[in-house]
Structure 1
Amino acid sequence: MALLRTQRRPGGGNENTWPGFVDALSTLLLVIIFLLSVFMLAQFFLGQALSGRDEALEKLNLQVQELADLLALERQSNSDLKANITQLSASLQDSNLDREQMAARIEELEADLADATNMGQRASQSSAEQLQTIQDLEKRYRDSNNALAKEKELSQAARREVEVLNRQLAALRQQLSALQTALEASEAKDREQQATIKNLSSRLNAALASKVQELSQYRSEFFGRLKQVLAKRSDIRVHGDRFIFPSSVLFASGSDTLGEDGQREMAKLAQTLKEISATIPPEIDWILRVDGHTDKLPIRTSRFPSNWDLSTARALSVVKFLISQGIPAERLAATGFGQYHPINDADNEEAYEQNRRIEMRLTQQ
């Protein structure tokens, strides 16, 4: 009101100031009422939203509680399962222990069975059955005697049964004695047969030694005559029971084809072998073994991928030539040793020359 009064003074009688102020206040009041209405509506809807959220939160709390209960039950079940697993583990350990004990017992029983089998092999099946029958009758006899001892008065039927059992027992003992006698006779016969076998073995060894000695005589004659035939060749030599031909005498370098010089020497050897073999008795199963050897220097060609192939091919060439000269094929054998059996381990040309060779040996199959 004071403001209104101060506003009237300067103008000196403006009549429109108050109604305008009232309109402004009314508009402001309406705006405030509208804002309050909006605020109340917002509060109402917010309350509804909060109420719904509380209900949802309460449901979630209930679900969380249910999940907690389920988790507790699951933990309890897990604990029970762990306890069951522990019990099962203990049971499994006990079962394993029992199984080991049973396995040990089975091994003992198998050992006992093996012992019993070894003992049972000394007697026939009939003897074993008789022994079992005797044991059964002896048991019945002991039982009968025990029963008779407890009885004050023995019946006539029991006495007859005991007499029958005694007779059966005596008869079975006689049968057992006869079987034992037969077994001893069989063992004595077996010992005689063993002595005969030993005697035959000694005679066979003596015969084999005689044949070997006889073959040695023919081998010595063969090598002696062959040495006479090849006396002019200083490079061909005899070493023990082997006749050694240097490869250079028989073959060109890296070849398995017999040269003219090698064919001449092999022809002499074949003639000597035919003359000697005609005097060897047919019961001596002799064979001439041809062994091919090379040096350690490697060879890799399409025809000879290795020294082994070359040594075998050379030995085979010699065998084929001897067959062409009339030596029976069943009396010949070709073997290749490559570089693996040198006679000189040195690493020089002289050693290489010595190791490249064809060896021949008269032996017995």
Structure 2
Amino acid sequence: MIGSRRRSRSTTNVWPGYVDALSALLMLVIFMLLVYVVSQLYLSQTLSDRDTQLARLNAQLNELSELLGLEQNKTDALEDQMASFQDDYSASLTRNDKLVNQLESTREQLMQQTAMAEARAERLASMEQSIDEKEEMSASQQAMILRLSNQIASLREQLRQIASALKLQEQMTAEKEQELEQVSRRLNTLLAERVNQLEQYQSEFFARLRDILASNENIRVVGDRFLLPSELLFASGSAELGEDGMRELDKLAKVLLAVADKIPEDVDWILRIDGHTDVVPINTPKFPSNWELSTARAVAVVRYLAAQGVPERRMVAAGFGEFFPVAEGTSPEALQKNRRIELKLTDR
């Protein structure tokens, strides 16, 4: 009789079924954890690539700005817009970082809950061995299984929400990248237009100035610069313009004013006047070195042209001393070539 009862209880033992269900839940939790770890790695790599692309784009924009220059007033708006886009993108990255942190926190919670579930599974297995004669689970054990099921369901919902947020962030990032690309294309077009316009007026300025100054064999053209010998404009060791130099500068001023009237106001051009000396040192109370002498001569030319009507805001003076020669050696011919005033029509 007793043996019959025991066989009946053995055939209705439900513990193995609950243990299998719990094991399946644990495997599901571990699988979800692995899936989101891989997703995190992929997201980190994607964000790193986008940061690299953005850095490369910014470097290209900076290089274009340094080589070609921009009209200050109009490009300020573009730069502000770029800064706004970058701020938005930085905010997007911040939100991405928060999502990554949330994923990390969720991963840690999953690991903790997995460890707790494993510990509970061990306890349940131990309890099963000690109460294998009972036909039904106690109420506390049933509540424990129910809590585990609810926790797993809650984790699934959190993971679903995080996945949705990441997808939305990827869409926003793609839109920002498209806007940056459009701004870059507009900027390149604007730069090309400004460069073409200035090159046209440079060509006209050079052609007319070459015709007017062609009678003076000492005036040379090197690339996009006119080189006037210092002896044509100044006495030795002096920064005071002579009569011959004033006459040559009068010709230059007429050509420059005629060309300047044709240049649109939105083309930000300037006339660079650079002073250069030879390597022979100078040390006088007025000019302690060749830097002071070359700078004073460039300023003297700027002041004279301004007196002839050339706008002061369209000119810049610089002194280079003896450090940028155009002829090597210390022969009289080389020294004479290096003592010069250079003129260049360019952008600011």
Post-superposition Cα deviations, 1:282-322, rounded to whole Å, max 9, x if no partner, equal 22221111111111222221111222211111001111112
- Give the whole-Å Cα distance in 2 for the aligned partners of 1:156 and 1:243: 100
Partner of 1:140: 116
- Give the whole-Å Cα distance in 1 for the aligned partners of 2:146 and 2:258: 89
| Higher alpha-carbon Rg | 1
TM-superposed deviation, 1:132: 3.2
Post-superposition Cα deviations, 1:137-158, rounded to whole Å, max 9, x if no partner, equal 3332222222112113542122
Partner of 1:216: 199
Structure 1, unaligned runs of 5 or more: 1-114
Alignment partner of 1:283 out of 249, 252, 266: 266
- Give the whole-Å Cα distance in 2 for the aligned partners of 1:347 and 1:136: 82
Distance 1:142 1:313, change over 3 A: same
- Give the whole-Å Cα distance in 1 for the aligned partners of 2:127 and 2:299: 98
TM-superposed deviation, 1:209: 2.8
TM-superposed deviation, 1:355: 1.1
Question: Which secondary structure state, in structure 2, belongs to the residue aligned with residue 296 of structure 1?
Answer: coil
2:158 corresponds to 1:175: yes
Code of the residue aligned with 1:225 in structure 2: it is R
Code of the residue aligned with 2:123 in structure 1: it is A
Partner of 2:127: 151
Name the count of aligned residue pairs: 249
Post-superposition Cα deviations, 1:326-351, rounded to whole Å, max 9, x if no partner, equal 22222211111111111111321111
2:344 corresponds to 1:361: yes
Per the normalisation by structure 2, the TM-score is: 0.65
Assess if the C-alpha contact under 8 Å between 1:134 and 1:173 holds in 2: no
2:214 corresponds to 1:231: yes
**Percent of aligned positions that are identical:** 42
- Higher RCO, 1 or 2 (CA under 8 Å, sep at least 6)? 2
Partner of 2:27: none
Assess if the C-alpha contact under 8 Å between 1:134 and 1:169 holds in 2: no
- Give the whole-Å Cα distance in 2 for the aligned partners of 1:238 and 1:230: 11
Where do residues 1-365 of structure 1 align in structure 2 (5 Å cutoff)?
121=97, 123-152=99-128, 153=131, 154-365=137-348
Question: Which secondary structure state, in structure 1, belongs to the residue aligned with residue 341 of structure 2?
Answer: strand
- Give the whole-Å Cα distance in 2 for the aligned partners of 1:297 and 1:129: 73
Assess if the C-alpha contact under 8 Å between 1:144 and 1:162 holds in 2: no
Code of the residue aligned with 2:149 in structure 1: it is N
Code of the residue aligned with 1:252 in structure 2: it is A
Post-superposition Cα deviations, 1:145-199, rounded to whole Å, max 9, x if no partner, equal 2211211354212212321221221222222122123213313432442344244
Question: Which secondary structure state, in structure 2, belongs to the residue aligned with residue 243 of structure 1?
Answer: strand
Per the normalisation by structure 1, the TM-score is: 0.63
Instruction: Give the superposed CA RMSD.
Output: 2.3
Code of the residue aligned with 1:287 in structure 2: it is I
